[in-house]
Chain A
Amino acid sequence: QKEVEQDPGPLSVPEGAIVSLNCTYSNSAFQYFMWYRQYSRKGPELLMYTYSSGNKEDGRFTAQVDKSSKYISLFIRDSQPSDSATYLCAMIIYSGGYQKVTFGTGTKLQVIP
């Protein structure tokens, strides 16, 4: 079993839809949770960063963490064609003062105009 599980998709939605992207994890030692967006032929870029259970909102994006269920989500409201990308969840453990980041496999999202 992988430490971080993420549905690879692809996920196709019409423009304006609400998108829900999810990851589950098995290691309760994960302390920080992130969502990265990766456009085709580009490197991943950080979208959201959170460390506690609950919701964190940034514009059209909301990150949700449920540590008791070991489940995180990213919601995108009013989705736009420019949101079409692969979304990777990532989780951090600190060991010896250094961070080790484990990524999910990514979900490919396509927003259709």
Chain B
Amino acid sequence: DTAVSQTPKYLVTQMGNDKSIKCEQNLGHDTMYWYKQDSKKFLKIMFSYNNKELIINETVPNRFSPKSPDKAHLNLHINSLELGDSAVYFCASSHTGTGSGNTIYFGEGSWLTVV
């Protein structure tokens, strides 16, 4: 049983297109995240949602719009894709609070290539 699942795993699209990546977690967590990993493996947080509410919004272009229909789902929609958006996007989830009980669990990643 996949804990954090995201689709699609691979996505190749042209500049200017709009695309979405979906994410679902079955761990009962109340916090979900989107991270971006560039070609140098640097993993940077983009957004964090707690119980469907946005709590972290790093400096991300407003072409990126997350949507959380419920606490088990966090989707990422990207408008007007640019070459620089090519990266691996990871969805993740955790419990809220302090301590090791709120370990972040990652999905397998979505490889986005903009051509």
Contact = CB atoms under 8 A, between A and B. Distances in A.
A43 B42 contact: no
9 contacts: A41-B108, A43-B109, A97-B96, A97-B97, A98-B55, A99-B98, A100-B45, A101-B104, A106-B41
A64 interface: no
B86 interface: no
A100 B44 contact: no
Contact of B40 (A8, A96, A100, A101): A8
Interface in B1-46: 4, 31, 40-45
Interface in A38-55: 38, 41-46, 49, 51
Contacts of B90: 43-44
A85 to B, nearest CB: 11
Contacts of A38: 41
Contact of A43 (B40, B48, B96, B106): B106
Interface of A: 8, 31-32, 34, 38, 41-46, 49, 51, 86, 88, 94, 96-101, 103, 105-106, 108
Interface of B: 4, 31, 40-45, 48, 50, 55-56, 90, 92, 94, 96-100, 102-109
B43 A98 contact: no
Contact of B108 (A43, A101, A105): A43
Given A8-B41, A105-B41, A44 B106 contact: yes
Given A49-B100, A98-B56, A98-B96, A103 B44 contact: yes
Given A43-B106, A43-B108, 17 more contacts: A34-B103, A43-B4, A43-B90, A43-B109, A44-B43, A44-B106, A46-B103, A46-B104, A49-B103, A51-B99, A99-B31, A99-B98, A100-B48, A105-B40, A105-B41, A105-B42, A106-B41
A96 B53 CA distance: 14
B94 A88 contact: no
